[in-house]
Amino acid sequence: MSSRVLGDAPGDEVRLTVLGALPEIHPGDDLPAMLAAVAADAGVQPGDVVAIAHKPVSKAEGRIVRLADVQPGDEALHLAAETGKSPELCEVILGESRRILRRRRSLLVCESNLGFVCANAGVDASNTAEGTVVLLPTDPDASARRLQHALSRVARGRVGVVITDTHGRAFRRGLVNIAVGVAGFAPVLDHRGGRDREGRMLVATDQALGDEIAAAAGMLMGKASGRPAVLVRGLATSPSPGSLHELVRDPAHDVFRSEADADGVVR
């Protein structure tokens, strides 16, 4: 196991440890039991948080689509002609999307059925068999809760869970892991009403703790290592059921999306 320590003062350390390798996951595999076993080997304790990439979660839940089995409709055919993507892939992306917010050549920026904005609605062709794609879990919070229950049993206390995916960010270069499912802790810390070091009241400071955990874990998750889970220790979290939706900004408060976008106009 490899680990990394963040922080430079006694009592102010967060330790990240990559958990042991998982085998290739297939639909129907008992991923909660498998993850609990490698976490137990690492000495998981109450208060820890386990971050795991969504791909093994999605595979265990059967969220794999064979493109040859997809029948594209007229909208997918039109989108394929515009983007150069295969009609079958376009059909899958449309099925995972509430709306397409932006398109540029082959790039599709979608509002997914889960409510967040990302490329291709999270449909991913990496680390899966040729001719197949993997979708995000249908209900990633429920997926996280199932994992949390198994982990909490072996830890004999509360363990938080973050399911992660790699997303791009507006106005920033590069990809970063973010939380797409949360269980066992509050993923947003509301600092409003507190004071900064100069005594000024904080009026607009929400800390996206779930995304910060996902991003930190992403530094240690190998894309092809078979070790998609990271144990985070030493981070104070607030007990809560937790939910992805706490991290998703209401479109009404999003200054980067136009009113037309909110009304569902495809651009």
pLDDT digit string (tens) for 134-151? 999 999 999 999 999 999
Token pair, residue 70, equals 């997809």
CB atoms within 10 A of CB 174: 7
Residue position matching structure tokens 């515009």 = 82
Secondary structure (H, E, C), the chain: CCEEEECCCCCCCEEEEECCCCCCCCCCCCHHHHHHHHHHHCCCCCCCEEEEEHHHHHHHCCCEEEHHHCCCCHHHHHHHHHHCCCHHHHHHHHHCEEEEEEEECCEEEEEECCCCEEEHHHCECCCCCCCEEECCCCCHHHHHHHHHHHHHHHHCCCCEEEEEEEEEECCEEEEEEEEEEEECCCCCEECCCCECCCCCECCCCEECHHHHHHHHHHCCCCCCCCCCEEEEECCCCCCCCCCHHHCCCCHHHCCCCCHHHHCCCCC
pTM here? 0.87
80 vs 68: CA distance, rounded Å: 15
Statement: residue 262 has pLDDT above 70:
no
Statement: residue 5 has pLDDT above 60:
no
Domain positions in the chain are 3-63+137-248, 65-132
Q: Considering the domain 3-63+137-248 in this protein, what is its CATH number? A: 3.30.1330.100
| pLDDT score, position 169 | 83
> Regarding the domain delimited by 65-132, which CATH topology (the fold level of the hierarchy) does it fall under?
CofE-like fold (3.90.1660)
What one-letter code names the amino acid at 125? A
Average pLDDT over residues 19-27: 94
Q: Do domains 3-63+137-248 and 65-132 have the same CATH topology?
A: no
Instruction: Work out whether strand 49-53 and strand 160-169 pair parallel, antiparallel, or are unpaired.
Output: parallel
φ/ψ region of 120 (left if φ > 0, alpha if ψ in -120 to 50, else beta) reads left
Q: Which residue has the higher pLDDT, 218 or 266?
A: 218
| pLDDT score, position 206 | 78
Average pLDDT over residues 105-128: 92
| pLDDT score, position 3 | 56
- Which range, of 25-29, 96-100, 188-192, averages the lowest pLDDT? 188-192
Q: Which of 66, 53, 46 is nearest to 19 (CA)?
A: 53
102 vs 29: CA distance, rounded Å: 37
* CA torsion through residues 254, 250, 48, 60, sign: negative
Dihedral in degrees, nearest 10, Cα atoms 117, 123, 128, 129 = -170
Among residues of the chain, what percentage have pLDDT more than 70? Answer: 84
Instruction: Work out whether strand 172-183 and strand 189-190 pair parallel, antiparallel, or are unpaired.
Output: unpaired
Cα–chain-centroid distance for residue 137? Answer: 10
Statement: residue 223 has pLDDT above 70:
no
Q: How confident is the model at residue 87 (pLDDT cuts 50, 70, 90)?
A: very high
Q: How confident is the model at residue 157 (pLDDT cuts 50, 70, 90)?
A: very high
103 vs 218: CA distance, rounded Å: 27
